[in-house]
Amino acid sequence: MSDVAYVICALDDIQSQRAQGFDLAVLDEAGEEKNFPIVVVRWGKQVFGYVNSCPHHGARLDWEREQFLDPTGLRLMCGKHGALFELGTGRCSAGPCKNDHLKPVELQVIDGDICITGVSLAEEEDEDEDEADASSVEA
């Protein structure tokens, strides 16, 4: 497990009660790069992160691009067959995978930035400095 916190974006880049997807890449134990799409939900000062993969058939939740929430805005929704997930726990409350869970991603807000921990991100070298920004944090 990595204890490095990687900045994903500023907290204010996501409006409260909205969700946004990020297509990250991580290094597995063998050092191979692997796609790691996640969805980040912001609720006031809280953030929740999940792997963007439905426990039903593994589809991206935003089957319709960047569409993560149900019409009430109170649950995450998989666009493929309509499974609904609690924002704070990732538990499926209705749909074909009822009571399964989205896989959580460890997020922290540090100095106004949303950071991911517990993974080793494969960093892109040509991106601008902000995206390559990483700092160590104490657990």
Which range in 41-49, 77-85, 116-124, 125-133 contacts ligand FES by CB under 6 A? 77-85
Query: In the bound complex, what is the minimum distance in angstroms from residue 123's beta carbon to ligand FES?
Result: 30
Query: In the bound complex, what is the minimum distance in angstroms from residue 40's beta carbon to ligand FES?
Result: 19
Residues numbered 83-102 forming contacts with ligand FES, rule: CB under 6 A: 83, 95-96
SS (H, E, C) the chain: CCCEEEEEEEHHHCCCCEEEEEEEEEECCCCCEEEEEEEEEEECCEEEEEECCCCCCCCCCCCCCCCCECCCCCEEECCCCCCEEECCCCEEEECCCCCCECCEECEEEECCEEEECCCCECCCCCCCHHHHCEEECCC
- Rule CB under 6 A: say whether 80 interacts with ligand FES: yes
- Rule CB under 6 A: say whether 59 interacts with ligand FES: yes
